[in-house]
Amino acid sequence: MSSPLTRPGRFPVLRDILREPSARIGLVLVGAVVLAALLAPVAAALTGHGPNQQFRAEALTETGLPTGPNGDFWFGADGNGRDVLVRTLYGARISLLVGIPATTLALLIGTAVGLVAGFFPGRTDRLLSLGTDVALSFPFVVTALSLVALNKGGDGRPLLNPVVLVIIVISLFAWTAFARLVRNLVVVLRERPFVEAALSLGASRRRVVVREILPNVLPVVVVYWAVQLPVNIMLEATLSFLGVGVQAPTASWGSMIAEAQRSSLYQVQPWFLLGPGIAMFVTVLGFNTISSGVRNVLDPG
Amino acid sequence: MITYLLRQASRALTTLLIVLVIAFGLTRVAYRDPAAVLAPRNADQRTLDGITRALRLDEPWYLQLWHYLYRGPDIQGAEMGLFHWPPALGYSFRQQRPVTELILEKIPATLSLALGAVVIWMALSLLFGVIAARRRDTWVDHGLSVFSYTGLSVPTFLTGILLAYFLYFKLSTYGIRWFPGGGYVPLAEDPFQWARHLLLPWLTIAIAEIGVFQRVVRANMLDVLGADYIRTARAKGVSERRVHFDHALGAALNPVITLGGLELAALMGGAIVTEQIFGLDGVGRLAVEAAVGGDFPVVIGTTILASAVFVVSTFVVDVITRLRDPSGAT
Amino acid sequence: MPQSETTTVPLFSVRNLSVAFRDRDREFTAVRDVSFAVEPGKTLAVVGESGSGKSVSLLAATGLLPERAAVRGSALHRGTDLVGLDARRLRAVRGRHIGFVFQDPLSNLHPLKTIGAQIGEAITAHERVGRAALRSRVLDLLGEVGIRDAARRVDDHPGHFSGGMRQRAMIAMAIAHNPGLIIADEPTTALDVTVQASILRLLRRLQETHGTALIFVSHDLAVVSDIADDVVVMREGAVVEAAPAAELYAAPAHPYTRELLGAARHGLALAADAGPAHAPEPLLTGSGLRMRYRRRGRKDTVTALDGVTFTVGEREIVGLVGESGSGKSTIGRIVAGLVRPTEGHVALREQVYNEPGRGGPRIDPETRKAVQIVFQDPYGSLNPRRRIGATLAEPFLVNTRLSAEEIRAEVAELVRRVELPASVLDRLPSQLSGGQRQRVAIARALALRPSLVVADEPVSALDITTQAQIVALLRRLRDELGTSFLFISHDLGVVSDLCERVVVLSEGRVVEEGPVQRVFRHPRDPYTRELLDSIPGRVNHV
């Protein structure tokens, strides 16, 4: 942990990161996913297949089974005759739309908690650490299910947009990782002479936290954001897989895979499963390789 | 050491207590009208009121919490609070059975799943991690890191489906029936069938975890291998094998144990996805069905179980790392 | 000192050794064409400042460098070239024929293994020994290196050993097979001066009884002056001078050797003019300072300070000396207002500003400005993420309402005062040398024109030639600005050179106090005398 703290300047680091092969591969993969998310409506317009539009006549056989890949449906169709390719592209939107805000929210909460807990030892630290323990010890999925159940108004309609709810649920768990990381960093930094020097110059504690400690914590936290993002993307997919994430018929990779599995239709139309499966893999792999490339540069070893 | 243990234990208990209160409160808000859920579809208001009174749902929440801790709802007149002995976690609305009984019934499957997976993933992670560190920057290291990234980047539900598809479905179409598609056979009944039925679920969990752990082991090994005391060992003429597997691995193990405890705890709380895919009747499925069906005593019960496992395993991990390093030097 | 003129066959000789490190796509040469040799039973000192390649060349010669290093040349040990030797045969030499002692005994001992297990392993690496026999041999070794009560301490972990005892345990490992050669890499640098003296005595005794040859790597010509037969001086990866010790100390040929020797020596000589014992107006008074800590998870308290009273006069430089654990840094932190004392108080111009109480010290802004601190670690005392200009502007931003333009002028003046080029203002701390960083830290402490600066070991992390420059700077700043200094140090040489008065601390108490001349020439307290006797090189070359 010491070397990211002592690394000089920003721009040489950025250049080093771009020279790192794994970071480059990751950037290409993630770039492709972002492009897919942006171009999803274009693909829908070009093929004439809306993401939730059913083409029972064209895409299902007489026995009602989905067709495989063909000139019209590149990835074939799902059990309801919807275009798997178009839905996979729309799924990228949900993944990023949930993953990025959830991770960012978790970063903000966790960093704030970690800074305070790390800088004020004793009672404050113990209290916040207890809070972290409590959040960590809740079983994620069961609690998420309860929270989704909570999200029902008197008329049975959701009180909150399910996407927003999923973001909140994920960040409610994910902040703990940031809080622990930041707290441990700050505990070390707090003892460093430059912090004491600032205090003996008469700087207020708020100024010391903001001007002396935060700049040293931030680069590490940003790298960690990239580490946590793929984890949270997988959490979203898991929730959707279990049927408590983004609600049907909105396309999410998790719920597409769940449908494929539940109906066993992937055994006749493998792309029903492979489309969202590969997309998921590419996205998570992309972010993982970026973060490992960044880590190689910041923490060579 | 004793004061340390006491302090950690009291912290663990406080955590549990807070979890209990939050879980209790959450479910009380979430399921606004459990009586309606429980009652027969065409029940009249009197029946509903009767159920409400029987469950003490008309009392303020703190009294309900009190009853939960000391008496439990008197459905069958028995006293069943968490602080009674044997401790009881309430009474399932849906299944009309004590929650403790339900959980105890489901625990063997989940425990088998979690512990078996831990053994596989820890053994392989340590082996792969040490090899990757020893053969750093060779094709062995690169190959292992590709494996690790793949494991890391596929969600468990996808791994599970793929394993089930290829090793169960595809193989069985060729008449090879090595791996059953699901189900659980108790260990006491037939150890071989137990292991055979659990092999695919174990692999499903282990592949994802190896992705994480192998990298942690490798990174810690490289870190430790750069330490001065490793050079001292070499200067004494200690063999490379001993340097790696004794000196370095021993010192690199602490962070791995810590992370392992956390992951194991998370698994006990719900290898939900894996249980779902392979049709294992474990605690995870119990919890999901209860949460979806509004059976909130079961939700609270499983939540408390999961956080108890978490709290206990972090406590054990703390003690282990502490015992391994009496000087507190690392 | 006897000189080796007979043509004995060298036991270990390094010929034309070069070492290069590859780091990503760059390669840099750490050692260039180095040669030296040691004869049986003799001592060779390899001396140089940090980065001179002295340790690297010995690690390279014995195959202990990481694989990334490219080593050329040869290292002959009893006729076998160790460079490029396969791992198995190299292992048969290391530990059995060549023993090693490294610098920091804490980081060089495995934290999770007992001392006994680690020494035992040094034996079993080369020999099959039964358990009982192994234990008795380990106990013998511990006894030989002077660890008292060996049978009780053998199962302790390194964390429970003191620094000196750890280094003795390291030596026990090195001599487990009674090797012909011991390579000791800065074996005393991390230790207190009295402990250093005892370790040097131990090494010399072992050498005499076993006839072991010794290669002693050090940054300090004074330390090796008592034990070396031959000296090799290295700088920037190359040998600048190699000569028998007597010749080299008497008539150093190379200017760099002369510079090193001057730096090693200057502290040892006391200025001749003692000057009148003028009594300046007292500026700072510490009265009856006590400090007790409660260690984590323990009931008993540790007493770091046990009733310390002292003063610092106007325009005076007072040295506060003592070994680690003497409480000297605690005094510095109390004076600088970073912690409260448990008892007693400190006063500036008779105004008490730090006394016992709850929470962090609350100090009025004027006193805050008047007392500043410079820390030992030049790496840790500057924020690695902020440019020097921003670091130096901070005191003005916090304490004054100057405009940006005025602050820039003040900062430029500060940088000039500490003799740094204006170009450092745009740099980050990592782009500066240790000495430059320490100058920045001094500039920051001076920004608010304090009356007193606490300097906590400000030069002990620096190379010996840089130390001399910083000491000169501090003296000049005092003369120009009239600032008083409380100079905390374990190095009596530097203190005797810089300070007018000295306070000697031991185990949280003041054991002696007085003018430097008097205390160092005629110490009254036995502890002060022991400290002075432990100064290396004092006997032979001063």
pLDDT in tens, B61-116: 777 777 777 765 554 555 566 666 666 777 777 777 888 888 889 989 988 998 89
A198 chain-C contacts, CB cut-off 8 A: 383, 394
CA distance, residue C383 to nearest chain A CA (Å): 6
- Contact between residue B303 and residue A143 where contact means Cβ atoms under 8 Å apart: yes
How far apart, in whole angstroms, are the C-alpha atoms of residue C226 and residue C244? 13
Chain C residues inside the 8 Å CB shell of A7: 384, 430
pTM for this entry: 0.83
**Which chain C residue is nearest to residue B250, measuring alpha carbons?**
C112
Most confident of A1-5, B171-175, C5-9: B171-175
Task: Choose the weakest-confidence range: A101-105, B168-172, C33-37.
Answer: B168-172
pLDDT higher at A59 or B158: B158
How many Å lie between the alpha carbon of C399 and the closest alpha carbon of chain A?
A: 7
Chains that touch B (3 or more CB pairs under 8 A): A, C
Whether C485 shows a pLDDT value over 90: the answer reads yes
- A225 to A13, A103, A232: CA distances (angstroms): 17, 7, 10
Assigned token pair, C213: 């040859």
For B246, name the nearest residue in chain C, comparing CA atoms only. C113
Q: For residues B34 and C329, which has the higher predicted lDDT (pLDDT)?
A: C329
Residues in chain A closer than 8 A to C338 (CB atoms): 196, 199-200
Record: contact A199-C338, CB cut-off 8 A: yes
Low pLDDT (below 70) residues in chain B:
27, 29-41, 55, 71-87, 268-270, 325-330
Residues of C whose CB is below 8 A from A193: 375-377, 380-381
Query: Does some domain include residue A4?
Result: no
Distance of alpha carbon A213 from alpha carbon A220, whole angstroms: 12
- What residues in C contact A215, CB-CB < 8 Å? 383, 385-386
C-alpha B219/C-alpha C321 separation (Å) is 42
The distance of C366 to chain A (nearest Cα, Å) reads: 10
Residue type, C1: M
- pLDDT tens per residue, range C398-436: 988 899 999 999 999 999 999 999 999 998 888 888 889
Cβ–Cβ below 8 Å for A280 and B303: no
What distance in Å separates residue B152's CA from the closest CA in chain C? 27
The answer on pLDDT for C4 being more than 70 is no
A153 — pLDDT class (breaks 50, 70, 90): low
Residue A213 carries which DSSP code?
I
* A137 closest CB neighbour out of B154, B156, B307: B307
End-to-end CA distance of chain A: give it in Å, rounded. Answer: 11
Contact B31, B52 (CB under 8 A): no
Contact residues on chain C for B325, CB-CB shorter than 8 A: 111-112, 157
Q: What's the pLDDT at C226? A: 82
Separation of alpha carbons C207 and C192, rounded Å:
22
B209 to chain C, minimum CA–CA distance in Å? 27
Query: Does residue A15 form part of some domain?
Result: no
Across the interface, of B3, B232, B234, the residue whose CB is closest to C297 is B3
Q: How many CB pairs under 8 A join A and C?
A: 69
Token pair belonging to C355:
């006394």
Q: How does residue C70 score in pLDDT terms, banded at 50, 70 and 90?
A: confident
Residue A3 counted as domain residue: no
- pLDDT band of residue C175 (cuts 50, 70, 90) is very high
Total CB pairs under 8 A between chain B and C: 88
In percent, the amount of chain B with pLDDT more than 90 equals: 13
For chain A, the residues whose C-beta falls within 8 A of a C-beta of chain C are 5-9, 192-194, 196-203, 207, 211-212, 215-216
DSSP, collapsed to helix, strand or coil, labels residue A151 as coil
Rounded to a whole number of angstroms, the CA Rg of chain C reads 25
Which H, E and C letters describe chain B, residue by residue? CHHHHHHHHHHHHHHHHHHHHHHHHHHHHHCCCHHHHHCCCCCCHHHHHHHHHHCCCCCCHHHHHHHHHHCCCCCCCCCCCCCCCCCCCCECCCCCCEHHHHHHHHHHHHHHHHHHHHHHHHHHHHHHHHHHHHCCCCHHHHHHHHHHHHHHHCCHHHHHHHHHHHHHHHHHHCCCCCCCCCCCCCCCCCHHHHHHHHHHHHHHHHHHHHHHHHHHHHHHHHHHHCCHHHHHHHHCCCCHHHHHHHHHHHHHHHHHHHHHHHHHHHHHHCCHHHHHHCCCCCHHHHHHHHHHHCCHHHHHHHHHHHHHHHHHHHHHHHHHHHHHCCCCCC
Q: What is the mean pLDDT of residues C141-149?
A: 90
**Higher pLDDT among residues C178 and B48, named by residue:** C178
CA distance A17 to chain B (A): 19
Task: Name, of B92-101, C292-301, C385-394, C426-435, the range with top average pLDDT.
Answer: C385-394
Question: Which residue in C102, C121, C160 is closest to B228 by CB distance?
Answer: C102
- pLDDT value for C134: 94
pLDDT tier, A155 (very low <50, low <70, confident <90, very high otherwise): low
Residues B169, B177: Cα–Cα separation, whole Å: 9
CA B95 to chain centre: 24
Average pLDDT in chain C: 87
Among the partner residues A8, A211, A216, nearest to C428 by beta-carbon distance? A8
Res A33: pLDDT: 92
3-state secondary structure of A228: helix
Confirm whether A6 is domain-assigned.
no
Cα separation values, B293 from A138, A200, C228, C394, Å: 19, 60, 84, 61
Looking at chain C, the whole-number percentage of residues with pLDDT higher than 70 is 93
Q: What is the pLDDT of residue C179?
A: 93
Does the pLDDT value for residue A8 go beyond 50? no
Distances (CA, A) of B329 to A140, A180, B222, C108, C158: 35, 21, 19, 12, 9
ipTM of the complex: 0.82
Q: Does C64 touch chain B (CB under 8 A)?
A: yes
Distance separating alpha carbons of residues B139 and A189, to the nearest angstrom: 39
The domain tally of chain A equals 1
The predicted structure's pLDDT at residue B80: 60
> What's A91's domain CATH number?
1.10.3720.10
- C503 beta partners: C320, C513
Nearest to C391 by CA among A188, A207, A189, A198: A198
> Closest to C87 (Cβ–Cβ): which among B240, B327, B329?
B240
Q: For residues C305 and C509, what is the distance between their CA atoms, to the nearest angstrom?
A: 7
For residues B56 and C166, give the distance between their C-alpha atoms in angstroms, rounded to a whole number. Answer: 68
Query: Residue type at B189?
Result: E
What pLDDT is stored for residue C300 in this prediction?
A: 67
Residues of A in Cβ contact (< 8 Å) with C358: none
At residue A213 the predicted structure's pLDDT band, cuts being 50, 70 and 90, is very high
- Note down the domain range covering A237: 22-298
Distance CA C312, CA C319 (A): 10
Mean pLDDT (whole number) for C506-526: 90
B10: closest chain A residue by CA:
A130
CB A276 within 8 A of CB A257: yes
Q: Do A284 and B307 touch (CB under 8 A)?
A: no
Number of neighbouring beta carbons within 10 Å of residue A121:
11
Out of A133, A142, A258, the one facing B291 most closely (by C-beta) is: A142
Q: Does A12 fall in a domain?
A: no
> What's the mean pLDDT in C48-56?
88
pLDDT value for A300: 52
Q: How far is CA B47 from the centre of its chain?
A: 40
- Collect all residues of chain A within an 8 Å Cβ-Cβ radius of residue C379: 6
**Residue C273 pLDDT grade (very low, low, confident, very high; cuts 50, 70, 90):** very low
Q: Hey, of B153, B171, B214, which one would you mutate to test binding to chain A, going by the most A CBs within 10 A of its CB?
A: B153
Check CB contact under 8 Å for B327 and C157. yes
| Mutation for A interface: C383, C433, C460, most A CBs within 10 A | C383
Which residues of chain C are at the A interface, by a Cβ-Cβ cutoff of 8 Å?
A: 336-338, 365, 368-369, 371-373, 375-377, 379-386, 394-395, 398-399, 428, 430-431, 441, 444-445, 447-448
**What b/e readout covers B259-294, taking b as 16+ CB neighbours within 10 angstroms?**
bbbebbbbbbbbbbbbbbbbebbbbbbbbbebbbbb
Among C324, C270, C268, which Cα is nearest to C534's?
Answer: C268
